[in-house]
Amino acid sequence: MIKLKIEGALAALYLLCCCTMGEAVPQEPLKVGVILPLSGPVAFMGEAFQRGVTLFAEEHPASYAQLQVTLEDHHYDGKAVVSALNKLIDVDKSNMVIVWGNTPSGAAAPVAEARKIPALLVSMNPDALDRHYVLSFGSKNGPLIEQVLKFYRLNNSAHPAVVTVDLGNILQGIELMRKTLGEKLYVQVVANDEHDFTPMILNLRRNHTDALMLFALQEQAMTFARQAAALGVRLPVVGGDVFADLNYARQMQQYLPLVAFPYGLVKQAFVDKLEKRFGTSAYFYESAAGYSIMQICANAAQSWKHESPESLLNSLQPPSAEEVPIVGLRREYDQEFGAHFTNEVALYYADGSRH
């Protein structure tokens, strides 16, 4: 467990400013529990989210001082999520929780609902549907799949294909793709620990595949690219969010002619700021989500009077467009999705450009 606080000179400066300006110092902060993958197969995503939280704290110390943020590690494991969630409620007395990840959010949602604690779940799944205490946050599957279909169109693909692990909600996304492409979409599902792609690549060549969606873990995807290049199979590839490290995507493009990925649309100025502050802008949407969610919570802390959990949930509203780095961030209700924060998406390329 890690507590993030404004400390030392930064806190002293904030208190001095409050006293000088006659501003009331918050007597009781909004207690926010955050459950991230800080270890395990997607720890890099949790680290990216943390960078956004850190940047918000540095740029808005007065707003961040209204929050007491406690981090927990879920290792991308459902049981660990439930354990961390109960600990945040019972021990840390958190007023609300934030959970990152599709699978972890699915585990957290029924517990948060049963325990009547406001939960903001960074997930592309409809975890908030028919629930009163749950909000989801993130790019919806449908618009992201539309970007994949656009990639196929831009590459004039007559024989599109998908190679994927069974992870998250990717199989639901493939069903959405089939509604448009029908039987001409060739799909191969691989195990999470598969690293010999030679038979699969030869199948793609026999099927005259001319554009590929590759949804795999980082090491797997790079291995696939190397093996495809060794076999002389050079396909334009659109990947999942693990491609959203531009250095990684550029490495991929050593073996493939074109590499792209659909991702939540983030202001370029924020991406540049991440690069300058941390030396990396990898997984910039996750960082933008961390930053934006802290802004949402800070705004709620100003208006919520420590009343009911329901009133806190209603206080979680999108900030102004100028306050957040995510483009088109909005809260809406979808009959098939529930209450949800969503945003615009784009098709990014390995050179950092977008379509």
146 and 290 inside one domain: no
pLDDT of 336 reads: 84
237: β partners: 212, 259
pLDDT of 11 reads: 45
Cβ count near 182 (within 10 Å): 8
135 and 14 inside one domain: yes
- Tell me if 123 is assigned to some domain: yes
Residue 230 belongs to domain spanning: 141-263
Among candidate residues 263, 284, 317, the one where a domain is terminated: 263
Among candidate residues 231, 263, 295, the one where a domain is terminated: 263
- The CA-CA-CA angle for residues 85, 103, 144, to 5°, reads 130
* 105 Cβ contact partners less than 8 Å away, ≥ 6 residues apart: 99, 121, 122, 123, 125, 127, 136
Residue type for position 226? R
pLDDT of 10 reads: 45
**CATH code for the domain in which residue 254 is found:** 3.40.50.2300
In whole angstroms, what is the distance from residue 182 CA to residue 175 CA? Answer: 9
Q: Which of 233, 154, 165, 227 is nearest to 193 (CA)?
A: 165
| 145 touches 164 (CB < 8 A) | no
- Cα 128 → chain centroid: 16
Q: Which of 30, 32, 45 is nearest to 2 (CA)?
A: 32
pLDDT of 306 reads: 84
Tell me the residue ranges of DSSP E strands in 42-159: 67-73, 96-100, 119-122, 134-137
Cβ count near 135 (within 10 Å): 21
pLDDT of 264 reads: 97
| 315 touches 303 (CB < 8 A) | yes
- Tell me if 352 is assigned to some domain: no
The two tokens of residue 95 are 């007023």
R_g (Cα) of the chain, nearest Å: 21
- The CA-CA-CA angle for residues 90, 301, 115, to 5°, reads 30
182 and 65 inside one domain: no
In whole angstroms, what is the distance from residue 174 CA to residue 112 CA? Answer: 30
The two tokens of residue 105 are 């959010």
Convert the pLDDT of each residue in 136-166 to its tens digit. 999 988 999 999 999 999 999 999 999 998 7
pLDDT of 1 reads: 52
pLDDT of 28 reads: 87
Residue type for position 284? F
Phi-psi region of 130 (alpha: psi -120 to 50; beta: other; left: phi over 0): left
113 and 97 inside one domain: yes
- Tell me if 349 is assigned to some domain: no
236 and 254 inside one domain: yes
236 and 255 inside one domain: yes
46 and 126 inside one domain: yes
45 and 65 inside one domain: yes
pTM for the full predicted model: 0.91
pLDDT of 41 reads: 87
Q: What is the pLDDT along the chain (355 residues), one digit of tens a residue?
A: 555 544 434 444 444 444 444 444 445 899 999 999 999 989 999 999 999 999 999 999 999 999 999 999 999 999 999 999 999 999 999 999 999 999 999 999 999 999 999 999 999 889 999 999 999 999 988 999 999 999 999 999 999 999 998 776 788 889 999 999 999 999 999 998 899 999 999 999 999 999 999 999 899 999 999 999 999 999 999 999 999 999 999 999 999 999 999 999 999 999 999 999 999 999 999 999 999 999 999 999 998 988 899 999 999 999 999 999 999 999 999 888 899 999 999 999 999 999 8
In whole angstroms, what is the distance from residue 16 CA to residue 310 CA? Answer: 34
pLDDT of 123 reads: 92
